[in-house]
A = this chain, B = another copy of it.
């Protein structure tokens, strides 16, 4: 079903931007896991808007309440875990015009073609970026389970308009590159605690904030890209064909609003490469075979290779902009001009960082549980 993801770990997302609540149900979590609710809240806080200068001033109380799935000691007890987030701070009045005049770049028109006037358009309904909050609840839990199993997942804004951040050291898989990658992740984690813009290089972060500020002042928005990496995943996770690492990560990532592309490892650059450049040779390290380079981005034939899983995703500029745009009136059938009011992020790339981590965590944990390596069976 359309709002459900996963095979062995199944996540069902529910809610609309202005319904009484949003939430998720997660079935298939390993039982006996002690969930750290404070850590989960810290993760949620990274996604929530209204906490810094470069995002929308709209504040959302993203405090998930776990209503089932834990026993009296706070451990997962083998039954579906449900989490609810109340919707507050809702201003439905802003959205009246949308019913008739679809906003360019939003799902309004597509939703009208699907559901006509029964679509709940208030705040974007089920399409709202607000629905990434329950995704982050589920993903935040998956991150904790994976962390206990030795997997680290981190993301950063790799691009905003023409500004790029230092990339992850993950196309190599030498001991030196692994250490460098871990340092990059440490830098990002340290920045998170201080509420820094999520780049590895703080200078790039400052220039990105300037680009975002310029767009905002022009009543416009800007696009960006997010790079995400997972280290510590054993080789042998995932299945061939349609439950592979790439396909599974891609399916959940394209469920994040605004994403228009995804690439793994060397990505689109492979189109220009020779096989002799792109193939990742194997070598022995501590008597264990491992790929020396990682152009494959950690996935071969859909199955993890033991090297870091690496993807980049393109995030389009927020479609809600203050500039006048051409549209049509669906009821009168006449041309119309639209100026989106309300409080909107001029760039969603920064908020997409924890969402990318959540998506990666859910896809990888699901595959690990559903299609494990030989050693763990």
A122 cross-chain contacts in B, Cβ below 8 A: 71-72
From residue A156, how far is it (CB to closest CB) to chain B in Å? 14
Q: Please report which residues of chain A, range 183-232, place their CB below 8 angstroms from some CB of chain B when the two chains form the complex.
A: 215, 218, 220-225
Across the interface, A273 reaches (CB within 8 A) one of B254, B255, B316, B371, namely B316
12 A-B residue pairs with Cβ-Cβ distance under 8 Å, sorted by A, are A1-B28, A5-B241, A19-B69, A77-B125, A78-B118, A78-B126, A102-B289, A105-B300, A159-B272, A260-B266, A261-B270, A273-B316
Whether A113 touches B373, Cβ cut-off 8 Å, given contacts A282-B328, A302-B255, A327-B281, is yes
Across the interface, A270 reaches (CB within 8 A) one of B114, B120, B250, B315, namely B315
A48: Cβ under 8 A from any B Cβ:
no
A247: Cβ under 8 A from any B Cβ:
yes
Q: Give the distance in Å from the alpha carbon of A315 to the alpha carbon of B12 in the complex.
A: 32
Q: Give the distance in Å from the alpha carbon of A328 to the alpha carbon of B291 in the complex.
A: 10
A145: Cβ under 8 A from any B Cβ:
no
Whether A114 touches B236, Cβ cut-off 8 Å, given contacts A109-B300, A273-B316, A275-B220, is yes
A325 cross-chain contacts in B, Cβ below 8 A: 276, 279, 281
Q: Give the distance in Å from the alpha carbon of A3 to the alpha carbon of B302 in the complex.
A: 11
Q: Which chain B residue has the least Cβ–Cβ distance from A160?
A: B271
Q: Give the distance in Å from the alpha carbon of A229 to the alpha carbon of B123 in the complex.
A: 32
A3 cross-chain contacts in B, Cβ below 8 A: 27, 79-80, 239-242
A106 cross-chain contacts in B, Cβ below 8 A: 300-301
Across the interface, A68 reaches (CB within 8 A) one of B19, B265, B319, namely B19
A281 cross-chain contacts in B, Cβ below 8 A: 104, 325-327
7 additional A-B residue pairs with CB within 8 Å, beyond A1-B10, A110-B301: A3-B79, A12-B27, A20-B67, A113-B374, A161-B274, A279-B317, A282-B326
A173: Cβ under 8 A from any B Cβ:
no
A151: Cβ under 8 A from any B Cβ:
no
Whether A67 touches B260, Cβ cut-off 8 Å, given contacts A79-B16, A107-B301, A321-B279, is no
Interface size on A, residues (CB 8 A): 155
Q: Give the distance in Å from the alpha carbon of A255 to the alpha carbon of B246 in the complex.
A: 8
Whether A110 touches B20, Cβ cut-off 8 Å, given contacts A274-B215, A278-B223, is no
Q: Is the CB of A242 within 8 A of B4?
A: yes
A80 cross-chain contacts in B, Cβ below 8 A: 1, 3, 12-15, 126
A2: Cβ under 8 A from any B Cβ:
yes
From residue A87, how far is it (CB to closest CB) to chain B in Å? 9
Q: Is the CB of B314 within 8 A of A374?
A: no
A326 cross-chain contacts in B, Cβ below 8 A: 281-283, 292
A144: Cβ under 8 A from any B Cβ:
no
Q: Give the distance in Å from the alpha carbon of A330 to the alpha carbon of B316 in the complex.
A: 45
A55: Cβ under 8 A from any B Cβ:
no
Q: Is the CB of B243 within 8 A of A2?
A: yes
